[in-house]
Structure formats: C-alpha cells, structure tokens
Amino acid sequence: MGRVLILIPILAAVPVLADQPVAYSHKQHLAFGLQCLDCHSSADTSAAAGIPSVRKCMLCHAKIGTANPEVNKVIAYANSQREIPWQRVYGFPRESLVRFQHAPHARAKIGCATCHGDMTQATTAQRLVKHTMGSCLSCHRQNQASEDCAACHY
C-alpha cells in the first residue's frame, strides 16, 4: 500500500446525455448519506459495478415520496415486476472486445470520481469522463499496471 496514484489530465469532462425513464437524482440521494456501494454493490468485488434493481428502490419508496409522480413511475415498475429500463451511459462498442473490471481498480484504491467525475452533483448519470485505450494505458503505465493486450481484450 502507500502507493501514490498519478492522476492524468486526459480524463476530460465531456458530458454525454442519456434520456432516462425516471428522473432519478444522484445528488439528492447522496446528500442524505447513501454511498455508491449501497446501490452499485459489486463495484469493489466484481467486474461489473451493477445497476440497482427496482426492489432496492422500493426498500424506501414503498413508503417514501409516494405522492411524487416520478416516484410513482418507480412504484409502477415494481408492481408490474419489471426492472426500470435504464439506458447505459458508459461502455465500449462490442467490436472493441474490451473487458473492463472494477474490482482491481477498487483494490488499487482508485476513487469512483477518477473515472466517473463528481456524481454527488449529478442527477441521472452523464458521461463526465471519456475512456479510451489511450487513457487506460497512460494510467496503467504510470502505475505499473498491465499493458498486455489480453488484460483488457477478450
């Protein structure tokens, strides 16, 4: 441990808007103390961070905010046993055959904000950080992480 991670300027702020089915707000939910891992619960242990199931929302929204029309959309999905069809924000084209993994980055103590920007100010997620092979490799090089093609590609 004690290794200092060198942050790189090419992780530039380039918002890309996604049109989401529910006006969920990261800012609002994080302001009352929820943590990233409360909802993206496998970001420290698995390849995928995970998107929370509507059942997780209902732990609170079965009782809270039931007069709010946006919360009512959440309740309607839950009642019809359908997941909320969130549009994906981050990701790579299938043909790039990229295999990203969250867990090794969590172990190396790289904060979510390094790769996703300041989500405490976000409503639904926007692509605040652009990831390319160049941005992956430049951090890997600076931190002696793998530069093997097979580490990142199938």
Site for ligand HEC in 60-89 (CB under 6 A): 60-61, 64-65, 68, 70-71, 74, 86, 88-89
Rounded Cα–Cα distance for residues 83 and 60 (Å): 16
Q: Cβ 9 to ligand HEC, closest distance in Å?
A: 11
Q: Cβ 85 to ligand HEC, closest distance in Å?
A: 10
Count residues contacting ligand HEC (CB under 6 A)? 74
Rounded Cα–Cα distance for residues 62 and 42 (Å): 24
Among 13, 81, 149, 154, binds ligand HEC (CB under 6 A): 149
**Which residues touch 60 (CB under 8 Å, ≥6 apart)?**
none
- The number of angstroms, rounded, from the C-alpha of 6 to the middle of its chain's C-alpha atoms is 21
Among 57, 76, 81, 83, binds ligand HEC (CB under 6 A): 57
Site for ligand HEC in 5-44 (CB under 6 A): 20, 22-26, 28-30, 34, 36, 38-40, 43
Site for ligand HEC in 104-123 (CB under 6 A): 104-106, 108, 110, 112, 114-116, 119-120
Which parts of 13-117 fold into alpha helices (H)? 26-31, 36-39, 54-61, 69-79, 103-107, 112-116
Token pair for 95: 């043909």
**Is residue 100 near ligand HEC by the rule CB under 6 A?**
yes
Rounded Cα–Cα distance for residues 60 and 27 (Å): 17
